[in-house]
Amino acid sequence: MPELEDSHYDDSDGDDEAWLDMDEDGLQTQQSVTCLFCEECFTSVSMTFQHCRDHHRFDIRDIRKIYGLDCIAYIKMINYIRTTKCPSVVLHVPYTPDNIPWKDDVFMKPVIPDDLILQFDIESMAGEIEQQNTDTSDKETNLLQQLCDYKQRAELAEYSLTRALDDLNIAKSFAQNFVMSSSTHIHDSSHHALHLSADEDDAYFDSYGHYGIHQEMLQDKVRTQSYRDFIYKNEHLFKGKVVLDIGCGTAILSMFAAKAGASHVIGVDQSEIIYQAMDIVRENDLEKQITLIKGRIEDIELPVKQVDIIISEWMGYFLLFESMLDTVIYARDKWLAPNGAVYPDKCNINLVAMGDKKSHSSKIAFWEDVYGFKMNCMKSCVLQESSVEVVKPVVVMSQPAEIKAIDVCSSNIKDLDFTSEFTLEMTREDTCTGLCGYFDIFFDKDCENKINFSTSPGSERTHWSQTVFTFENPMDFKKGDILQGTITCTKNIKDHRSMIVKFTINGINMKYYVH
């Protein structure tokens, strides 16, 4: 195995850092060495580890100390990193001896043939570092301690800054909504999505780092069983295929696809839940089929040039809230093979009229007398916010009207801002207090067993419930009467993951925020 030269790997002088990869004759080899965490290549192991330390915060000396790596453990760890493509932060956990993820003997098999990094003598390095520590002067020791202190202070400052930015985003969002809600004018909004930077979008992904939201989604039987049934009952679509799971969360869809025979499943998620997903995949012995990547789809590169199938549970309230379909379309245009498919492949948005005087009173009349005080000015603010509720079928008073149909395999992002006319025929005499929006989902293309589900008031309850747009002034209708209107849905230019929904009914303009 190659050994460290006398110059050693020493932080005190960057020019002295040199780990040379030697061949049997003692000559430096010219074989390239690929980085553990990106695609860059170098002419020596020393340069590769230097790059890993400077660009990926992976210092092999620190990792050796954390885990007490011997030669075998070192080889397994390197192959684990190359196999799972895990970020370097995963290696700083630290793990206990019982749950070290690379302890399985399967990681003795090299991922890259003749990988020079595997030939590095980690045990010689350990002895050398101990000798260096013995020879280090008190002055150098003090300097090292100071550097450690500075590092800890920097990490603390970075953590505090992150928390401060989160608080600032919350305050910013509140201020924007307050200012926009106080306006009584109808403003035209741009038909183009405002693409926020990764930092500005962190708050959205952070919300999916909490475990409770994933439990809620997994416990939604309509949602999860529909995906499971689609995949398991259409295994012909998945056998031997490369699958991309966007927003994989706990990797439940990735594991369904792997069990259905997919040759390789790539799950991508920006939230911290990805680290639990890695453990879940290992716990179910699917790490050979499933690769998990942390990051935004728009920022990462996949380990393959194209995929055969894209699966994603991207739907939000009123279908398009959260704008995650934009991400699916981006991935489709970049990676989907010419004859590939996106699932679910079809969906639609529907409206029904509802007559719920009790709910209307609780939202509107409440403000007329609040512990003896009038707060009527709050009515307009409350009315401009749609609400997510479980709408009982008994309050529905019209036939449904489809206002938007989307083919996910062919639609463009610009299609997601739309204007549509609708007609609602009343099924009984009642007072219409608002409109109820819901969506339907279809797994259809090339399916031997087609699967679909609905979030309508008459269907089994889902975590999406229904979206309610409450009228300030209810309207009376008789059975057979027609309510005609126009709806316009656009992204909110102040917050591209929320929506602005406008209705025009009987010459009256109404504006709502879905957020």
**Does residue 425 carry a catalytic annotation?**
no
Residue count of the chain: 515
Helical packing angle, 273-283 and 211-219, nearest 10°: 50
- Tens-digit pLDDT string for the chain (515 aa): 443 433 334 444 444 344 444 443 443 445 789 999 898 899 889 899 998 888 888 888 888 888 888 889 899 999 999 998 888 777 766 677 777 888 888 889 999 988 899 988 887 765 544 444 445 455 565 666 667 666 656 655 665 566 566 556 555 555 554 444 433 333 333 333 334 444 445 443 343 434 556 587 678 899 999 999 999 999 999 999 999 999 999 999 999 999 999 999 999 999 888 999 999 999 999 999 999 999 999 999 999 999 999 999 999 989 988 778 999 999 999 999 999 999 999 999 999 999 999 988 888 878 888 899 999 888 878 888 889 999 999 999 999 999 999 999 999 999 999 999 999 999 999 999 999 999 999 999 999 999 999 999 999 999 899 999 999 889 999 999 999 999 999 988 777 668 899 999 988 999 998 87
CA 261 to centroid of chain Cα atoms? 24
Q: How far apart are alpha carbons 145 and 137 in whole angstroms? A: 12
List C-alpha distances in Å: 359 to 310, 318, 356, 395, 434: 40, 19, 6, 10, 10
* C-alpha triplet 306, 227, 264: angle, nearest 5°: 30
User: Between 60-67 and 122-135, two packed helices, what is the crossing angle to 10 degrees?
Assistant: 100
The answer to whether 322 is a known catalytic residue is: yes
Query: What are the backbone dihedrals phi and psi of residue 188, each rounded to the nearest 5 degrees, phi first?
Result: -80, 130
Beta strands in 252-373, from DSSP E residues, in sequence order: 264-269, 290-294, 307-312, 336-343, 346-354
pLDDT at 422: 97
Backbone angles phi, psi at 9, to 5 degrees: -115, 100
Marked catalytic residue, from 17, 130, 298, 313 = 313
- What DSSP element (H or E) covers 50? helix 45-56
What is the distance between the alpha carbons of residues 359 and 257, in angstroms, rounded to a whole number? 43
Check 130, 155, 287, 322 and give the catalytic one: 322
On the question of a cis peptide bond just before residue 94, with omega within 30 degrees of 0, the verdict is yes
d(CA 188, CA 199): 27
- 446 vs 169: CA distance, rounded Å: 44
Pair 148, 154: CB distance under 8 Å: no
pTM listed for this prediction: 0.60
Between CA 238 and CA 397 the distance in angstroms is 43
- Taking the C-alpha atoms of residue 332 and residue 160, their distance in angstroms, rounded to an integer, is 37
Helix H or strand E segment including 47 = helix 45-56
Sheet holding 508-514, edge to edge: 418-425, 482-492, 495-505, 508-514
Task: Compute how many other C-beta atoms are within 10 angstroms of the C-beta atom of residue 320.
Answer: 28
Domains of the chain: 14-136 (no CATH), 183-514 (2.70.160.11)
Q: Partners of 370 in the beta sheet?
A: 373
Alpha carbon 142 to its chain centroid, in Å, reads 44
